Chains A and B, each alone.
Chain A
Amino acid sequence: MMKNSIKNFKRSQSFYSFIGLALVFVIASLIVKEFLTFNNIITVLRQGSVLLILSTGLTAVILTGNMDLSVGAASGLVGCLCAQLLKSGVPIPVVFVIGLITGAIIGIFNGFLVGIVKLPSFIATYGTNWVVAGLSIIIMNGDIIYGLPEGFTWLGTGYVGPIPFIIIVALIMVIVAYVMLQKTTFGRDIYAYGSNKDAALYSAVPIKKTLFSAFIMSGVTAAIAGILMTARLDAADSTMGDAYGLQTVAAVVVGGTSMLGGEGGITGTVIGAILLTIIVNVMNLLGITSFAQPMVVGIVILVMVLFDSYSRRRQNTTVKKDSKKSN
């Protein structure tokens, strides 16, 4: 029994992600001496918060076997919208509500394209990405906004004791997402949908509702991430979310959630997001130009997806061998 559960953990993708994280952590502290300081660890977590929040929503979508390539642009749009509203004197709570609703609308739009029109999700959300990024340009009118109200920027820069508030928000989001995906009917439906859509349909899983909920969750987490991003930068410009799109996909995939759906979860995503943030942090500490970041993130994605595909096939052949033995 015990042996089996260890075997299962070793076979799960999160195990490899965890080893990856440990390796990257050790290498980082060996090559950069500033890495392993309390201040830098807090910096890593603070930098990682936005990515972590984005990744929790995307995890839900990828678990259904779909993809959301619009999260980066969505967070950028919500950030720009909030900054513009705050500048024109709209009260902070109202701005929050509008931001969250905007995120939800983007999610509903994606859900419509994928669930009703039945476009492949990566095409539909790639299209949404362009539209939403275009809307950000319109909202910002080609400008940059800075100097936002202090009550708003505190969300991104404030501290509770020694811990930045933004980390606490990320932690709460992770716990909420974990409970939603692992302990509720909604979560079970998402896993059921992702592992076998037809079987899920026959066992009375509300297919469309589940799909829409997953995309809405992704849209809302993108909105929260966008609000925090703007608060932390104390500024907004139309391209600020762009880099996050690919990083979010990378974080979820590195965390061992399968692109085919139904396998993986939030635990892996947390590992993936932190691993990716450390890589970016180390590149910053080493003074590597930001032009090189997409390349590194791209390579990380390719390696992890190849590795996932390879280990899945090997796993399939060992399962076959095991069943032969028992025969």
Chain B
Amino acid sequence: MNAKVATNNPIIKFIKSIPPVVWITLVLISVFSMSSDRYLQFSNFSNMLVQSVPLMLVAFAQTLIVLTQGTDLSLGAQVSFVTVIWIYLTKAGVPIYISAIVAVLMSMCVGAVNGLIVSKGKIPPFIATLGMQNILNSISLLLTAGASIYIFNPLFHNVTQAKIVGLPLTVWIAALMFLITWVVLYKTKLGAQVFGLGGNQEALTLAGINLIKPSIKIYAFAGLLTGVSGLITTCRLESGQPVVGAGWEFEAVAATLLGGTSLREGKGGIGGTVFGVLLITILKNGLNVSGVPSLYQNAIIGMIILMSIVIDALARRAKS
């Protein structure tokens, strides 16, 4: 009886179709708006959008890999690696645009190696990428002796301050990368293979489809996304920082799961991931605006993210 009413009433149907992530986001916004007057200002929201860009790109990468039933724990380290390589090479005299391209190419190579190890070596993606995470961290720390490295160049400032039609350039870049990822995922053969890898790998193998090449391409594409994220991060910090991306891989996994992509079935997409990232950014921003000491933030953010994943998983199971 109840089910019948629900399917007939378009309002209830609409409410039911909204994923939990949107509810959690709304609850957070209302909690934070109560704790600070400045919270509900437009400038704060526009700020949050800009803050969310680097994580957004990493989360797109993570979503692609989760759709193949993998997880890439090296994505955060890739971002740090790119910021370090870009500044390091530029400092060594390479023209700034060339070193940017080299840094992104290197992170794509890192991705390709991940893909090769995972598919050809047939080892669990999280352990392969955990190994890669530590190798990259070492390289970043060795190149910088553990500290931030700086160069002075107006390019960084220009990138972060530029606006097109009222919106910051970095937000447009995120939108463009969203579009590219969307096209790759839904309009190309590679995208079909992503869903194939996540769906039934054995069936693909039996059908004589080689899984190695698509894996390499997907992880390399993830490397492209983290590369661009690394460049934007460098522009914002105007420096290369060996540990800046630590933990982003976890936040990206959380954003992906909260956005409705399933870890086990190869279902979902990057649309939901956008909301997942916004949720995490709102959370971080809200803690700052309401004056929670930074000392407490790691534990609180981790806890709330974990709780959200748990609530989401339980809600999903109750539905099915």
- Verify that A and B bind, or say they do not: yes
Q: A: which residues have CB within 8 A of B?
A: 67, 69, 113, 117-120, 122-124, 126-128, 130-131, 133-135, 137-138, 141-142, 246, 249, 253, 259, 289, 291-299, 301-302, 305-306, 308-310, 313
Which of B49-57, B131-139, B220-228 is near enough to bind chain A? B131-139
Complex interface: chain A residues within 8 A of B299 (CB): 131, 133-135, 137-138
- In the complex formed, the residue of B with least CB distance to A289 is B142
Q: How far is the CA of A280 from the CA of B313 in the complex (A)?
A: 40
Which of B18-26, B115-123, B197-205 is near enough to bind chain A? B115-123
Can you list 24 A-B contacts (CB < 8 A)?
A118-B313, A118-B317, A120-B263, A123-B257, A123-B309, A127-B302, A127-B305, A130-B298, A131-B299, A131-B302, A134-B300, A134-B303, A137-B298, A141-B295, A249-B127, A259-B124, A291-B138, A291-B142, A292-B142, A298-B131, A298-B132, A301-B134, A305-B124, A309-B123
Q: How far is the CB of A293 from chain B (nearest CB, A)?
A: 7
With A120-B263, A138-B295, A291-B142 as contacts: A305 and B302 at CB distance below 8 Å: no
Residue from A122, A302, A313 in contact with B122 in the complex, judged by beta carbons closer than 8 Å? A313
Contact digits for B247-287, partner A, Cβ 8 Å, 1 yes 0 no: 10010011001000001100000000000000000000000
The reply to whether A299 and B135 form a contact with Cβ atoms under 8 Å apart is yes
The reply to whether A298 and B306 form a contact with Cβ atoms under 8 Å apart is no
Q: How far is the CA of A308 from the CA of B310 in the complex (A)?
A: 33
The reply to whether B253 and A123 form a contact with Cβ atoms under 8 Å apart is yes
Residue from B135, B142, B313 in contact with A298 in the complex, judged by beta carbons closer than 8 Å? B135
Q: How far is the CA of A127 from the CA of B117 in the complex (A)?
A: 25
Complex interface: chain A residues within 8 A of B310 (CB): 113, 117, 119
The reply to whether B71 and A294 form a contact with Cβ atoms under 8 Å apart is no
The reply to whether B141 and A291 form a contact with Cβ atoms under 8 Å apart is yes
Q: Which 3 A-B pairs have the closest CB atoms?
A: A134-B299, A295-B138, A134-B298
Complex interface: chain A residues within 8 A of B295 (CB): 137-138, 141-142
With A127-B306, A301-B131, A302-B131 as contacts: A133 and B298 at CB distance below 8 Å: yes
The reply to whether A292 and B306 form a contact with Cβ atoms under 8 Å apart is no
With A119-B310, A302-B128 as contacts: A294 and B302 at CB distance below 8 Å: no
Interface residue tally for chain B (C-beta within 8 Å) = 46
Complex interface: chain B residues within 8 A of A292 (CB): 138, 142
| B3 interfacial contact with A, CB 8 Å | no
Interface residues of B in 74-127 (CB under 8 A from A): 117, 121-124, 126-127
| B165 interfacial contact with A, CB 8 Å | no
Complex interface: chain A residues within 8 A of B71 (CB): 120, 122-123
Complex interface: chain A residues within 8 A of B145 (CB): 291
Residue from B73, B138, B314 in contact with A126 in the complex, judged by beta carbons closer than 8 Å? B73
Q: How far is the CA of A199 from the CA of B254 in the complex (A)?
A: 32
Q: How far is the CA of A289 from the CA of B145 in the complex (A)?
A: 9
Contact digits for B288-301, partner A, Cβ 8 Å, 1 yes 0 no: 00000001111111
Q: How far is the CA of A313 from the CA of B121 in the complex (A)?
A: 10
The reply to whether A306 and B121 form a contact with Cβ atoms under 8 Å apart is yes
Q: How far is the CA of A302 from the CA of B126 in the complex (A)?
A: 11
Residue from B138, B250, B298 in contact with A293 in the complex, judged by beta carbons closer than 8 Å? B138
- In the complex formed, the residue of A with least CB distance to B314 is A117
With A130-B298, A297-B134, A298-B135 as contacts: A123 and B127 at CB distance below 8 Å: no
- In the complex formed, the residue of B with least CB distance to A142 is B295
Q: How far is the CA of A122 from the CA of B137 in the complex (A)?
A: 20
Q: How far is the CB of B18 from chain A (nearest CB, A)?
A: 22
With A138-B299, A141-B295, A309-B121 as contacts: A122 and B126 at CB distance below 8 Å: yes
Q: How far is the CA of A124 from the CA of B309 in the complex (A)?
A: 9
The reply to whether A246 and B309 form a contact with Cβ atoms under 8 Å apart is no
Apart from A69-B130, A130-B250: 18 A-B pairs, beta carbons within 8 A = A113-B306, A118-B313, A120-B71, A123-B257, A126-B73, A134-B297, A134-B303, A141-B295, A142-B295, A291-B145, A295-B139, A295-B142, A296-B138, A298-B131, A299-B135, A301-B127, A305-B121, A306-B117
Q: How far is the CB of B2 from chain A (nearest CB, A)?
A: 26
Q: How far is the CA of A123 from the CA of B313 in the complex (A)?
A: 13
Complex interface: chain A residues within 8 A of B314 (CB): 117
Complex interface: chain B residues within 8 A of A118 (CB): 313, 317
Q: How far is the CB of A162 from chain B (nearest CB, A)?
A: 36
Complex interface: chain B residues within 8 A of A246 (CB): 130, 134
Complex interface: chain B residues within 8 A of A120 (CB): 71, 263-264
Q: How far is the CA of A69 from the CA of B124 in the complex (A)?
A: 14
Complex interface: chain B residues within 8 A of A67 (CB): 126-127
The reply to whether B130 and A301 form a contact with Cβ atoms under 8 Å apart is yes
Complex interface: chain A residues within 8 A of B117 (CB): 302, 306
Q: How far is the CA of A127 from the CA of B83 in the complex (A)?
A: 25
Q: How far is the CB of A308 from chain B (nearest CB, A)?
A: 8
The reply to whether B306 and A259 form a contact with Cβ atoms under 8 Å apart is no
The reply to whether B130 and A249 form a contact with Cβ atoms under 8 Å apart is yes
Q: How far is the CB of A45 from chain B (nearest CB, A)?
A: 25
Residue from A122, A130, A295, A296 in contact with B247 in the complex, judged by beta carbons closer than 8 Å? A130
Chain A CB within 10 Å, residue with most, of B138, B145, B250:
B138
The reply to whether B146 and A294 form a contact with Cβ atoms under 8 Å apart is no
Q: How far is the CA of A249 from the CA of B71 in the complex (A)?
A: 17
The reply to whether B123 and A119 form a contact with Cβ atoms under 8 Å apart is no
The reply to whether B134 and A119 form a contact with Cβ atoms under 8 Å apart is no
The reply to whether A138 and B296 form a contact with Cβ atoms under 8 Å apart is yes
Q: How far is the CB of B241 from chain A (nearest CB, A)?
A: 14
Q: How far is the CA of A298 from the CA of B110 in the complex (A)?
A: 14
Complex interface: chain A residues within 8 A of B131 (CB): 298-299, 301-302, 305
